[in-house]
Amino acid sequence: MRSETAGDAERLPRDPVFPFIVACVLLLATLAPAAALAAGNSSAPEAGYQLGAGDKISVSVAGASEFDTKTRIRDDGTIGFPYLGDVHVSGLTVPEAEKRIAGQLRKKQILKQPQVSITVEQYLANQVTVLGKVGHPGKYGLTGPTTILDLLARAGGTKEDAANHVVLVRTVSGEKKRYRMTLDSLSSGSAAGTKVRNGDVLIVPRMQTFYIEGAVNKPGQYRLQPNMTVMEAIAVGGGLTPRGSYDRIVVKRQDGDGTVHTYSADVDNVLKPGDLVHVKERIF
């Protein structure tokens, strides 16, 4: 590969508009802030969980083991129960479902004072999906109020190559909206109480990286921080070697069609994901 001087390369724009900046602008323009998202999402407490299709429940009647039943709530919201046939329980809380079954047993004079107990064995009516760089991607049932941090913990936490933000995809009035929140904001601040809802999809992207090579002490691949400059990248790369030159830096950047362009760079230029910073040695 031909060695290029700063004069041979196209000048890197000093104030480029990068994708993450555009994303931030679009986010502010089209989406509610994380604080509003958290405030607008109120979930019922676990005691008020409403049963739904897919939930697996265990029903028992005190002193009458012949009524013991383990079943999954059907798509039409019913379960099959001994001597009663189909009983509709979808949309009811556990205490409400217990009262309904007990009432029907009394009404049909099957039992005089039935004591019905229901235990939810598996929560599948309300589910969220976790994708991306987590220990255990997949679907998770919601048993009650669940924050994004709760969900990440259940999914095995984030991996080492995970980005420092998550994306929550939620259907609002038939339209899919995307909410971007940093892990720091989830740990403290306005997004700390953000809760997930049935049907949400939580995505943990791969971290964005840059590469640095040439006359630096620690060449390699590193995490790209928001608005990271060439100077900051050099610092991450261990600084210049004794022969390195701040005046002879180029950035190699790939465009949308895969073409790689080489730009002469200043230390205050902001990097894009995937950029390769090459620091050349001084001439004299």
pLDDT tens per residue, range 78-137: 999 999 999 999 999 999 999 999 999 999 999 999 999 999 988 888 899 999 999 999
Q: What is the count of structural domains for the chain?
A: 3
Give the domain-ending residue among 187, 204, 221.
204
Do residue 37 and residue 140 come from a single domain?
A: yes
The pLDDT tens digits of the residues spanning 136-164 come to 999 998 877 888 999 999 999 999 999 98
CATH number for the domain spanning 77: value is: 3.30.1950.10
Please say if the pLDDT value at position 47 is more than 50: yes
Do residue 84 and residue 216 come from a single domain?
A: no
Do residue 229 and residue 250 come from a single domain?
A: yes
Do residue 220 and residue 270 come from a single domain?
A: yes
Do residue 36 and residue 156 come from a single domain?
A: yes
Q: In b/e form, how buried is each residue of 202-220, taking b as 16+ CB within 10 angstroms?
A: bbbbebbebbbebbbeebe
Do residue 36 and residue 152 come from a single domain?
A: yes
Do residue 191 and residue 59 come from a single domain?
A: no
Please give the pLDDT value at position 109: 94
pLDDT band at 10 (very low <50, low <70, confident <90, very high): low
In a domain, 3, yes or no: no
Question: How distant is the alpha carbon of residue 26 from its chain centre?
Answer: 19
Q: Nearest-CA neighbor of 154 among 169, 136, 131?
A: 136
Residue 216 to residue 252: CA distance in whole angstroms? 16
More confident residue, 198 or 7: 198
Residue % of the chain over a pLDDT of 70: 82
- Residue 238 phi, psi dihedral angles, 5° rounding: 85, 5
101 sits in the region (left: phi over 0; alpha: psi -120 to 50; else beta) called alpha
Do residue 151 and residue 38 come from a single domain?
A: yes
Please give the pLDDT value at position 145: 80
Do residue 35 and residue 130 come from a single domain?
A: yes
In a domain, 4, yes or no: no
Is the distance from CB of 105 to CB of 176 less than 8 angstroms? no
Residues spanned by the domain of 102? 50-122
Please give the pLDDT value at position 256: 84
Is the distance from CB of 200 to CB of 264 less than 8 angstroms? no
Do residue 36 and residue 172 come from a single domain?
A: yes
Please say if the pLDDT value at position 269 is more than 90: yes
Mean model confidence pLDDT for the chain: 84
Give the domain-ending residue among 178, 204, 230.
204
Do residue 137 and residue 179 come from a single domain?
A: yes
244-254/175-182 β-pairing = unpaired
Do residue 109 and residue 237 come from a single domain?
A: no
Entry pTM: 0.64
Give the domain-ending residue among 122, 147, 182.
122
